[in-house]
Amino acid sequence: MNTALPCAAASERNKEPILEQLRRFLPADADVLEIASGTGQHVAHFAAALPGTSWQPTDYEFDNLIPIATRCDQSGLRNVHDPLQLDVHATPWPVPDHFDALVCINMIHIAPWSATPALFAGAKQVLREDGPKLIVLYGPYREGGRHTSPSNEQFDASLKSRNPNWGVRDLDEVGAEAAAQGFRRIALERLPANNLLLVFAG
């Protein structure tokens, strides 16, 4: 009998649309670092659907590591490494420096703004020079300083009421931080529920 595991409804809804985009952009044999793996629902789904890829899940919260590992073990996955605790502000990151791609889903709006430049700076250090050097981000964004929907504006207000350092980020500001570390945006995909998937390459 499987152990009961935390399950986020949003992750169940968005994992398949995100996977469709990962199929387009990730090499079939990509070595992928996931930042902010949370419940592990995404990494387990992606690893099962993309058996030629290898995944390293991480999370800021130590208490999330066992559920992530348990979910992947229960799924019988052999292409997922044991999860590691990682704070994007740490220098250096406690992971190898041989990844082809970094995937980060729904993190930068529930973290202080400093996590965004730290994410790109850390990615620059761990994405291998002879690889595609891809960064895939997913979540809600403002465009031109404006929210793209009333629901995103309400979500932004809710986030800031919980922590004034959180909030929906602006595409131009995120792009500027990417450019500062040598990454350029190569794709913007509009996914359900007013979320965007961004792909950067180094």
**Do 55 and 32 contact (CB within 8 A), yes or no?**
yes
- How high is the pLDDT of residue 1? 36
The domains located in the chain, with CATH, are: 30-105+116-201 (3.40.50.150)
Tell me the β-bridge partners of 170: 142
| pLDDT above 80 (res 3) | no
- Is the peptide bond preceding residue 92 cis, with omega within 30 degrees of 0? yes
Q: What mean pLDDT is reported for the chain?
A: 96
pLDDT at 95 over 80: yes
Bridging pattern class, strands 195-201 and 184-191: antiparallel
Structure-token match 């850390």, residue found: 122
Q: Are 6 and 67 in contact (CB under 8 A)?
A: yes
Residue 4: band (very low, low, confident or very high) from pLDDT cuts 50, 70, 90:
confident
Residue 55 pLDDT: 98
